[in-house]
Each structure stands twice: as C-alpha cells, then as structure tokens.
Structure 1
C-alpha cells in the first residue's frame, strides 16, 4: 500500500471503525485529532501513526497548514477520511486546496454542504422527485397559520446547520406541541443566531427509520450499497442509531440511487428515511456525507466502505457489491442504548421484555473488538472517570 490513509477524528467510534476497516487490510493509517485525551482511536493496533494538530474550528487555517505540511512529506498523496460533520465542513471549505495534496472522492465544491444543510437538501430532494416532510421556513408569511393548517401539532423545529444546534442545545431539534412552544423555540434559536425550519412529524415509531448506505465511484454511479433499519435511537425518537439491524429494503435503492446519482455525488453517503406508518411511503430525513455510525455493521455484513474508497482512489477499484438478503446482524452502541432504553420504558414506548428479547442476536459493536480491545479499555476508563466525577460532585 503506497498511499497512507489520514483519518480525521479519533475520539469517537466512527473514526475508530474507519481505522480498523483500513488497517485490517494492511493500509498505513494515520489518526489525527486535536487532543490525545481520551482519544481512544489512537490506541487501536491498526493505527500506524497518531498526530495531534490544531483545532479544526478554533484555528482552521493552522489545521489546514498542518495537514498540507504532513502531506508534502509523503511519497504519495494520502487518502483523506473526515469522520465527523465538522471535519466535513472543514474539508468542503478548503476542498480545492486539499485536493492538491490528498486523494478525496468528492470533486464538486460545496456539495457536501448542500446535502448537510436542511434547506438546500430539501430543494434538491424535491428536484429529484424524492419525498421530504412538509417544511416551512421561519420567515414564511403567516407562519403560525400555515403550521396549524399544513404542518399540525406536534411538529419539529429543526436546525438548518445541525452541528451548531447540537453544540449549543445538546439535542438535534425541538419538538413543540402548541403555538406558544413554537414561538418560544424559534426565539431561542434566533437568540443564538441559529437558523431553523418547521417540519411535519412523519408518523411511526423509531423502527420506521431506515438507512440507505452507498458508495458512488468517480462517475457518480453506485457500486456498493446496503440498507438498514433502526430499532432504537438516542436521544429517543429523534437521535442517532444505537441499536440498528441490517435489513434488505429494495425500494430504498430505487429512491436513494435516483437522488445520489442525480446530484452527482461521489464517495460514501448515507440517506436516512422514515416510513410513514399510515401510507407506507418513504420520506428523506437527512443525508450523512461522512462515514456512518453504523460503519462496523456494514463491514460485518460484507461492505467495507472505507476500504472501497481507498482502493478506488488509489487506482484499484473493487468489484461492485450489494447486500440483498437479511444477515440477522445488529449494530449496538451499548452505552447510549442503555440510556435510550431507560427513556423508551419510561415513556411506555417499549417494555422491558421487548428490550431483553431484542438482545439475543449477533452484534457488530460500536467500540468493542475482541481482536483490538485496547480502545474499549481506554473508553471504559474515561467513562468511569466521568461517572465518578459526577458522583463526587
């Protein structure tokens, strides 16, 4: 392997899964983060180098220079893997510069941002005949009346830029039940200069959430794909996957391929859909343009997305492949799933018996790996320190 792989973000299990997916195939993996404190991805046996650089947000210019200087020292341009939304935003901002020194699947500037931004994503979905939940912007005339007539209560107040919203409010959105809560939520977001939209809630429990995970080559054609069904999320109802099964849903390929190939996307993308429990129709909720939380599940069922990208970008593309049967495997992020289960039981959305029954299945773990245990040990140690700190307070 002549080209190194540079993984941006090693303090979360997404980066760890990318490190493992590449390292297990003999790729020289360089893990980059802004701190080595509790950065458990650094401890993977598949990590060949670790680098601590400037903070991507506090000093992006310094971080850019840091990456360029590293790339200049290599005999061959490294392949770049951003493993969190802020890293994707950074990459998109400096894409034209970074492409001179790194191998990156995306060639169109600002496409990552267009797909991450809820406003532009909605416009692109409509353009390509993909259903999206009914949505209003906060500057729509007669907003309150339109919400009552079109959207109905309860409804969602969602950020256009998810990362900024989560960083401030520690949640992905506001669920509001009346006019007063709607006005209050919009004012709260405006006070922080965070743009929001108002959206209809698609009916259905969390197991009506599905994902279409795909890799598109440099011709913007899908070569690899798999579909999954969420079982539980955290925070409950409007959060990230914590217990998700691989589930073959051919309809999602029809919708997802039309959209991703239509916008000329290149590289890995994950579309999240929700199936309307009343109509059975699938609505596009959001698009992840970095490696998914479910990456280890995709790997375990036979689709190694990071390695697929690496091989194509270094001139040796792998044969196309899709998972067209159910493999009876689930992704499990135990720490947040236990928190989610508490919420589901408290709100009577699930019973304890239903939860217990769900655990008797083969699993693709978020952090634990029998062949690479050190990251889990580091994560567990930091978690116990965090818990003891709270108890001490």
Structure 2
C-alpha cells in the first residue's frame, strides 16, 4: 500500500474521507467491483477464500483478508471486522449466490455493522430459489420454461416429457459438478434416469428440477441488469449474451456480451422486480424461444454478475452507483446506451471456436465483434496484475471441468476415459 493509499484508508475509517467498501470474493466479478470503487477513490478491502485471487491482486485492493469456510465463521468474521475497524458506514458487496444469501439471511444483524447492497431474505429468496421464481412468474403471466419437480427416481421413471430436456438445481447451496455446470442436458429417457440418479447423490432430490430445453445460441440469450430501489430500476441496461463457455450452458459464464434495445425484455423484468420489491443490484436472464418468438425467464441473479463492468462502459457504473445509493445519494434514472461490448478473452476464444465449428459464427463476424467500444473483463492498463493472477484459476477450472466430464462418462458405464485416451 502506498502512503497516499494508506492516508485515504485512514481518512475513510475516521470519517474524514469517503466511506470504504468490503468486497466478498476474489474472482473477476469481484475484481470489477474493486476497480469500479477504487477508481472513484473509495477504499476497498477484499475478503477471499485463497483459491480466487484475481480481485485480491488488484492495486485498488488496499487490504486482503481471509474468508472463512463455514457460515458461522463468515458471519462472525464480518461483524468482528466492522467492530474492530470502525467500518459502520462502509458498504458490503457479496459477489456470489452464497455470500449474498448469507447477508440476506442475517440482514438485520449485519445492517448494524455495514451499509448493505443486498435485500433481506424475504426479498432475495424469490431470486435464490428458482421454484419461487417460476411460481411468481406464472402468477405475473411472464413466460418461463415448463418445469417439473419430481421427488424420487420412481417419479422420474414414470414421467412422459419431451426431449431434449435439462436437469437443473433449484438452489446452489453447495459446490459440486451439478451446481457448477448450471444444467445437465438429457436427450432421452435412459439418460434422464442416469443423470437424475447422479444428481441425487450430489444434492437433495427435492432441489432437482427437470426443465424444458430452449434451443438456440447467443442470439437468443438476453439479460436485464439493474440497480433497484423498492422494486424500481434506477439504472439499467439490456444485453445480449452472445457467447458463453461452455457453449450450451455457460458454466464458466458469459464470454461476450453487448448492450441492445429490447423493450419486451425490459417490460417483463420491470414487472418482475416490482412484484418482488427488489433492492440492490440484480441480473434477470431470459432466452427467446424460436418457436413462439417470446423471451422466457431463466434465472434471477441477486448480486453482481459476471459482466457487470459492461455497465461502466455503457453509462451505468453499477458498483459505484450502488455505493452512492448506500450513502444516501439521489441516483438519476439512467438507461445504458446500446452498442457497447464486453469480452472475457480467456473464455471467449474457446467459445468462439465452438461457434465456428457449429457454423454459427464466421471469422469475420468474430473479428468485427471485438471492435471498440469494448470493455475487457480482466486486463486493464492501469491495473495489469490481476490478468496474471487469473491464469492459475483458469487452468484449475479447465482441469475440474475435464474431471467432471470423466465422472459423467463413468456413470454411463463408459469406463475410465482418461486411461483410454
């Protein structure tokens, strides 16, 4: 930490400078929050698990602190951190589903220690549990994929559903190959039974959903992203998630995103967030069904999302606007401009190669997609170190995905593919 940074941190803690922020998470999503705030002169501390170090490597991260493994330890660590360091007016940013759920469930206790960007559990649960999400969408008349909720292998064996379909966890309270993959595609009844049995070994069967598979690539994938107050978006954008890796379900997240004008997406998302009474940062995911031409609701991410830094380039710097709102500032209604792009090169190259092989992308289209204005997910001239710190994590993710695939093939009785190859 430089002398200037130490002075800024000291001023923030004793009330002479702007209050700081505590960012929970170490990956590129957290990095975007750290950079957004740091570039505006907000002191930032990062709590991370030691595996994700991208955000902690940023020059804007003034302190790096451990994030405990268990929920009780995490809650105690946050409260002690605030009490010991006098961080009452500092803003807390969870950057994944589980840290957001932790804050939401303990909203009253943590609101005495920080200013929160996360709504209480009574609100956040509508996004966290997809069973509640789809139930609310049905009542509001918002299209979503047909979804079944079997409770046993016997119920699955008796199902008569169309294929292809997907298996999907209703919540992601733990990390395993099923929750990491986001969804498993099944192409026939035999594969459905095998994958359902495998999923039952990983999570509670009551949390496993069987859902309609909506065909289409990136041209059909949209998101509405916003900063909300009492269910009303203050700053927002609509984006097309044109490429993701892996191509089918994007377990590693979107790799190329661009802002677009899609009034139908806006209208549905506005109604949904108003019904929830949502506060804070949120991303609502849709996919347009080519059969009906209508977008269908997929997910609600009740925290910062992978490509949130696109907002800064398009006129809606979501983390900083959220920090200002937490400090009591009036945020003017702002809609991001269309035609701005975001890329995470490390995953977009393999994503583009997959689209090229499928004939859904040409080399010329790929090159043109990277024209300015474009925001990079990790690399930045004013903060280069995180790009190097991200490499070990990417290699680990690639290894883990290969290992998860090997386990799947074994469940289908295809033996040890690592030995065969």
State the TM-score, normalized to the length of structure 1. 0.88
Q: In 2 relative to 1, CA 44–182 (structure 1 residues): closer, same or farther, beyond 3 Å? A: same
1:334 matched residue in structure 2: 345
Which deviates further from its counterpart, 87-96 or 204-213?
87-96
* Equivalent residue number for residue 37 of structure 2: 22
Q: Check if 1:52 corresponds to 2:52.
A: no
Q: How many angstroms apart in 2 are the aligned matches of 1:307 and 1:368?
A: 20
CA distance in 1, matches of 2:385, 2:292: 47
Match of 1:290 among 303, 307, 321: 303
Measured in 2, the distance between the counterparts of 1:170 and 1:226 equals 26
Contact kept? 2:172, 2:179, Cα under 8 Å: no
Match of 1:31 among 46, 70, 77: 46
* DSSP 3-state at the match of 2:59: coil
Which residue pairs with 1:127 in the alignment? Answer: 139
Q: 1:43 and 2:57 equivalent?
A: yes
1:183 corresponds to which of 186, 193, 209: 193
Distance 1:134 1:349 in 2: 27
CA change 1:284–1:383 in 2 (3 A) is closer
Q: Which 10-residue stretch deviates more, 335-344 or 206-215?
A: 335-344
Q: 1:116 aligns with which of 112, 121, 128?
A: 128
Counterpart residue number, 2:321: 308
Counterpart in the other structure of 2:163: 153
Deviations along 1:281-305, one digit per CA (max 9) or x if unpaired, are: 1110001111011111111111011
- The worse-fitting range, judged by mean Cα deviation, of 88-97 and 246-255 is 88-97
Aligned-partner Cα distance in 2 for 1:84–1:100: 22
Whether the aligned pair in 1 keeps the contact of 2:168 and 2:182 (CA below 8 Å) is yes
Q: Residues 208 and 98 (structure 1 numbering): CA distance in 2 closer, same or farther, change over 3 Å?
A: same
Corresponding position: 1:3 with 2:13? no
User: Does the 8 Å CA contact 1:136/1:143 hold for their aligned counterparts?
Assistant: no
How far apart, CA to CA, are the structure 1 residues paired with 2:307 and 2:220? 17
Contact 1:273-1:285 within 8 A present in 2 as well: yes
Q: How much does 1:132 deviate?
A: 0.9
CA–CA distance in structure 1, aligned partners of residues 125 and 175 of structure 2: 16
* 2:217 counterpart (205, 210, 230): 205
1:84 to 96, 119, 126: 96
Equivalent residue, structure 2, for 1:74: 86
Q: TM-score, normalised by structure 2?
A: 0.83
Counterpart contact for 1:203–1:277, Cα < 8 Å: yes
Whether the 8 Å contact between 2:165 and 2:185 is mirrored in structure 1 is yes
Do the aligned residues in 2 keep the contact of 1:71 with 1:77 (CA within 8 Å)?
no
For residues 304 and 54 of structure 1, the distance between their equivalents in structure 2, rounded to whole angstroms, comes to 29
Equivalence map 1:258-277=2 (5 Å): 258-277=271-290
Gap runs ≥5 in structure 2: 1-16, 403-421
Counterpart Cα distance in 1 of 2:240 and 2:160:
30
What is the number of equivalent residue pairs in this alignment? 378
The answer on whether the counterparts of 1:6 and 1:29 sit within 8 Å (CA) in structure 2 is: yes
Q: CA deviation at 1:95?
A: 2.2
Deviations 1:105-130 (A, max 9, x none): 44432432331212111112112221
RMSD: 2.6
1:254 maps to 2:270: no
Q: Deviations over 1:243-266 (max 9, x none)?
A: 111112122221111100111111
> What is the match of residue 379 of structure 2?
368
**Equivalent pair of 2:22/2:90 in contact (CA under 8 Å):** yes
Q: Gapped runs of 5+ residues in structure 1? A: none
Query: Which residue of the partner structure matches residue 9 of structure 2?
Result: none
Give the deviation of 1:83 after TM superposition.
0.8
Partner of 1:320: 333
Question: Is the Cα–Cα contact under 8 Å of residues 158 and 197 in structure 1 kept in the other structure?
Answer: yes
